[in-house]
Structure 1
Amino acid sequence: MADHRELITTAELAEILTRPDLRLFDCTTYLEPAPEGSGVPYIVVSGRQTFEAVHIPGANFLDLQAEFSDPRTELRFMMPPVGQLEAAFGRHGISAHHRVVLYSIGTAMWATRFWWMLRALGFDGASVLDGGIDKWTAEGRDIETGLAGGYPQATFTARPRPGMFVDKHDVLAATADSNTVIVNALGPQFFKGLEPSRYGRPGRVPGSVSVPAATLIDPKRKTFASAADAEAAFAAQGITKDKRVIAYCGGGISATIDLLQLHRLGYDNLTLYDGSMGEWAKDASLPIETG
């Protein structure tokens, strides 16, 4: 089994579960409806409680909002400074010598977000558990309950890769660049602006194409769509390997499912608009498109 693949199966994880260099994490976060008039799109709730109720043996927990997001902005889940991430990943026992496996409950997007962040920091030893804990438990595999045991602290040294995150100015410039495809990972109704958006103005970044993250996951098995099906979905939207891809969604989370699938297929000029519609829809100076 290769150590640096994007995905790892439940059977493969079971084989390495006792490896001393394994670092296994539940990354789950929940988004609950915000009170009307609160001015925020949702309430962020840590998945720590469900982790304590059930997790894969030996796993620990990563809290995206509490430890791995930028506290200096009102936007949720923004990529924080490198020093903050080095300290946080080091506290959780990750170094260049470790094999990291990430999973989340219900949806893979929280795990893929951490996978993308680690890649952005130059760490290639992370994989997402295909099917997550949903598939693991459906197969009747062992589970644990209780608090996270914690891994011994390690030294995490980042080697940041430039260009893996872009801001609204880069995205605005890209709308006029024929060598860039901007990919919206939200559902079709939000892409078209047919439903009210919790982020602000309904619609999309002008010129962007629709490849919903949900269509890249099997809804029953929670596993990633086959490489052939994913390739067909991207090709249908004119996404080719000679073009740069900017992916976005509501808050820079579900778009990382698209990015993992693209990386898996051999696309290498990939970036994430971190602010996504949480930023774009609220900025009246930025153009928006519907229909």
Structure 2
Amino acid sequence: MSKIPLIVSTEWLAGKLDDPNLRLLDATTYLKPTEDGGAELSSGKETYEKGHIPGAVYADLLNELSDKDAPIRFTVPSREQFVEKITELGVGDQDTYVVVYDQTYATVGSSDVASDWASRLAWQLRYEGLDNVAVLDGGFAKWVDEGREVSTEAGSYPKATFTGERRPELFVTKEDVKAALDDENVILINSLTEEAFNSGRIPGSCNVPFVNHSNPQSKELYNDEKLKEAFEKVGALDPNKKVITYCGGGIAATWNALLLNKLGQHNVAVYDGSMSEWTADSSLPLEK
């Protein structure tokens, strides 16, 4: 099967809904700030049940595709856990391809136009060794804005077999980031908002906010030339550099990683623990 793009349009997807090789995943998840400065996490399963793109199945990042025993939420699960759950959804090695979307920013508003829950799941799939996976540009919000069909009927696919091998080069640990602090060949990108970046970051980081890459009105990504401007400013498209993206908990970082891949920078890894892990270790430096 031919390779699909990293990011696909709603029009493209609409023409594929009847394709038996399509595996369409809804990765909706919620992270809402609380008054005490924390965050309330919840599954988007109920949202999916109220309406989704026809044929889609629900992929539960919070409860099934993360390590629930880890001290930091949304930590990559064991390969065995991930493969067990994702193959139950029909994702595997047969002649299929995957498109992931989420509904989250349709709820939180136009200030947050990014499908970063979708990009998180797409990144996990690539990390585990699956190639043919794309994220839907504009997500469910754009799909609905265009008046396209919405279904409440649960989707399903036959159970699959998954044999791809993990790609360790896509993943970095706290120790890897510490080692990179003095490495001029590594660029650390904080993917959070400018406000969050200014309040505390890993030393030497630059800021490319993940929320700035899409048009709030159309919900579409800006064109590649405009996207390149943001990353070129920090030198992240230099083919001789390694890029590490991070954020608060390894979600928004995957959106920047995806766009870097789209722009031709493939030496990109995500710091899974991100600021949640970094700030929990009082021995590690912070820059403001």
| TM-score interval (norm. to shorter) | over 0.9
The match for 1:198 is: none
1:22 and 1:101 in contact (8 A); partners too: yes
1:216 and 1:257 in contact (8 A); partners too: no
Shift of residue 205, structure 1, vs aligned partner: 0.2
The match for 2:109 is: none
TM-score normalised per structure 2? 0.92
Matched residue SS, 1:128: strand
CA offset digits 1:164-209 (Å, max 9, x no partner): 111111101101000000000000111111xxxxxxxxx0000000
Matched, 1:175 2:210: no
The match for 1:94 is: 91
1:31 and 1:42 in contact (8 A); partners too: yes
Matches within 5 A, 1:77-226: 77-97=74-94, 98-105=96-103, 106=105, 107-146=114-153, 148-193=154-199, 203-226=200-223
Residue from 70, 73, 76 that aligns with 2:70: 73
Shift of residue 95, structure 1, vs aligned partner: 1.3
* Partners of 2:156 and 2:274 in 1: CA distance: 33
Matched, 1:48 2:58: no
RMSD of aligned C-alpha atoms?
Answer: 1.5
The sequence identity of aligned pairs, in percent, is: 43
Shift of residue 149, structure 1, vs aligned partner: 3.1
Structure 1 residues not aligned, in runs of 5+:
194-202
* Partners of 1:12 and 1:82 in 2: CA distance: 31
Letter in 2 for 1:179: N
TM-score normalised per structure 1? 0.92
* Partners of 2:58 and 2:119 in 1: CA distance: 15
* Partners of 2:43 and 2:209 in 1: CA distance: 25
Shift of residue 271, structure 1, vs aligned partner: 0.2
Letter in 1 for 2:198: K
CA offset digits 1:64-114 (Å, max 9, x no partner): 011110122120101111111111111111112211110011240000001
Matched residue SS, 2:159: coil
Matched residue SS, 1:85: helix
Shift of residue 217, structure 1, vs aligned partner: 2.1
The match for 1:20 is: 20
* Partners of 1:70 and 1:83 in 2: CA distance: 11
* Partners of 2:144 and 2:93 in 1: CA distance: 30
* Partners of 2:61 and 2:35 in 1: CA distance: 22
Shift of residue 120, structure 1, vs aligned partner: 0.8
Letter in 2 for 1:266: G
Structure 2 residues not aligned, in runs of 5+:
106-113
Letter in 2 for 1:214: V
The match for 1:271 is: 269
